[in-house]
Structure 1
Amino acid sequence: MKRIWLDEVEGSSCELRDDAHHYLKTVLRSREGDEFGILTPEKFCMAKVSLITNKFTALEILSERPAVKPSYSLAVYQCVLKREYMDFAVEKYAELGVTEIIPVISARSMKDVKDKSFSRYHDIAVKAVLQSENEHVPVIMPPVELADIQADNAEKLLFYERKEGKEPL
């Protein structure tokens, strides 16, 4: 099923402009009468294209229901990688249904995460969720230092690949 992401949907109709309009009109080649899903942070809607112009796409909301939230909590602590590798990791975590991604700064990782990276990570996660037909976008948390991670929570596991010295973990 074709699906798009919107920050919010109010009422029984809405208009898409800019990126969402371009995506429906040009990429998906939607026509009047086509039905597709709309995912928002809180709900999932079925919609039908009622009008397509050069400037906007008008939609009629057919039905809506609350978005399915996972019954579990799965947080992943991921050391910060170079751009394309971190993007790939965020995409795969979102496809797998992770609920929270926490970037970790360690001695061997990238040292900073810029604010615009969080926006990019969110966009990547949204696209991955739409593709995998999940309905929950993982929360991207602010980065933490490796030493600040507390492993006292029994539901969270931390796997760390290396340590100083030659003894195994």
Structure 2
Amino acid sequence: MHRFFVTSDQIDLIQKQIVIKDEDVKHISKVLRLKEEDIVEICDGVNNEYVCKIESINKNDVLLSIIDNRKSAKESPIEVVLYQGIPKSTKMDLIIQKTTELGITEIIPVDMERTIVQFNNDKDKEKKVDRWQKIALEAAKQSKRGIVPSIHLPLSFKEAIEHSKENELNIMPYENQDDKGFKSIICSLSEEAKLSIKKVGIWIGPEGGFDEGEVTQAIENQIYPITLGPRILRTETAGFTILSLVMYELGDLGGA
């Protein structure tokens, strides 16, 4: 069943109707070639799902009637925030796409000491984040997420540390850490402590890795450096590797 996201103002629960607008109209009519009476799945981005029937399709909108509604069962019980050192080129596109598929909740681009990418001004930042948010939306549709992960405007390392204080656990894969991995951290926790973890922060450096001063600041703020093993991972693969481990140990990856 094809899935689309809408905002709350497009949903009329009294009339039991939903109106789809903008780019999805063309996608429904021209690309997917859906027609009246076809059934689609709609999500409001805050974990509510609606099974709907297409009533009419025109140039500007698609009118749907709500057949059934329910809470989404697609979201993990744990929230995960990715603090990603801003990478070069289109690497961020891949990072956003794959971490969205795996269940990330928020992605925060972080300007670190070894970040090469520079934004011209605030408008340039906003334009880039808008593009990244669209990538998250498309990945959320494909993976049938109940929410669309939020892509933040870039933060400084200090600002990101302050943000991370909302998390119960923060981990930082670091190439010079060779005696403690994610498994050892999890094994050191009691079952009660594991269950109390509702939000995890994952810290990933840019192409050049973390500056030693950043690692020191991280440790001072209860962000734990860990090893991912003997091989060095690229910035665009490290994030969804550790996210997979977190979702397996604390979330819902792998089932019951």
Mapping for residues 6-155 of structure 1, pairs under 5 Å: 6-8=6-8, 9-11=11-13, 12-42=16-46, 43-68=48-73, 69-109=75-115, 110-112=117-119, 114-150=125-161, 155=169
Give the deviation of 1:149 after TM superposition.
4.5
Q: Cα distance, 1:143 vs. partner?
A: 2.1
- Give, in angstroms, the shift of residue 50 of structure 1: 1.4
- Matched position secondary structure for 2:172: coil
Structure 1 or 2: larger helix share? 2
Q: Is the aligned partner of 1:158 residue 2:165?
A: no
Where in structure 2 are there 5+ consecutive unaligned residues?
Answer: 175-208, 213-224, 226-256
Per-residue CA deviation, residues 47-70 of structure 1 (Å, 9 max, x unaligned), is 111122344322111111233443
Helix, strand or coil at the partner of 1:77:
strand
Query: What SS does the corresponding residue of 1:158 show, helix, strand or coil?
Result: strand
What is the distance in 2 between the residues matched to 1:13 and 1:47?
Answer: 8
Unmatched segments (≥5 aa) in structure 1:
none
Distance change in 2, residues 1:57/1:149 (3 Å): closer
TM-fit CA distance, 1:162: 4.4
- Between 147-156 and 124-133, report the one with greater CA deviation: 147-156
Structure 2 distance, partners of 1:90, 1:76, is 10
Instruction: Tell me which stretches of 4 or more aligned residues in structure 1 moved more than 6 Å.
Output: none
TM-score (norm: length of structure 2): 0.58
Check the 8 A contact 2:114/2:211 in 1, yes or no: no
Change (3 A) 1:71 1:117: same
| Contact 1:97/1:136, CA 8 A, preserved across alignment | no
- The range that moved more, 144-153 or 106-115, is 144-153
Q: Equivalents in 2 of 1:149, 1:13: separation in Å?
A: 41
- Structure 1: how far apart are the matches of 2:63 and 2:210? 54
Q: Which moved more, 1:48-57 or 1:97-106?
A: 48-57
Report the secondary structure of 2:169's partner residue.
coil
Cross-structure match for 2:246: none
Q: AA paired with 2:4? A: I
Count of residues in correspondence between the two structures: 166
